[in-house]
Amino acid sequence: MNSIYALYYFNCYSKFYPVSKNRNDIILKNFGAHLKKIRIQKNVTQETLAFDANIPISQVGRIERGEINPTLNTIYMLSVALNITILQLMDFEIYYPKAQN
């Protein structure tokens, strides 16, 4: 998915999901899962990623679990540490749970 389409998709899809803490949690969990997938594909440990990105190791784990919202600076440092672009790091799908009736 290219980044322009991702932004369009996100903006269109967000009409159906109003901004809420739950929605933010879903986005953070999806971002964290994407970060973890990339880290594992590159055979990088959380400790190495934390060292290379100059952030605490606990922060890497919390980001991967979707517990915290990383700053743009942290996202940039993670992309540099993984030797990828910010666009590659941000190119992930957002999966919403099915609505319950």
User: Rounded to whole angstroms, what are the CA distances from 43 to 2, 35, 38, 46?
Assistant: 25, 12, 9, 10
CATH architecture of the domain 20-90 equals Orthogonal Bundle (1.10)
pLDDT tens, per residue, the chain with 101 residues: 444 444 444 444 444 444 456 777 899 999 999 999 999 999 999 999 999 999 999 999 999 999 999 999 999 999 999 999 999 999 988 877 776 65
Q: What is the dihedral of CA 73, 75, 76, 82, to 10 degrees?
A: 150
pTM recorded for the entire structure: 0.74
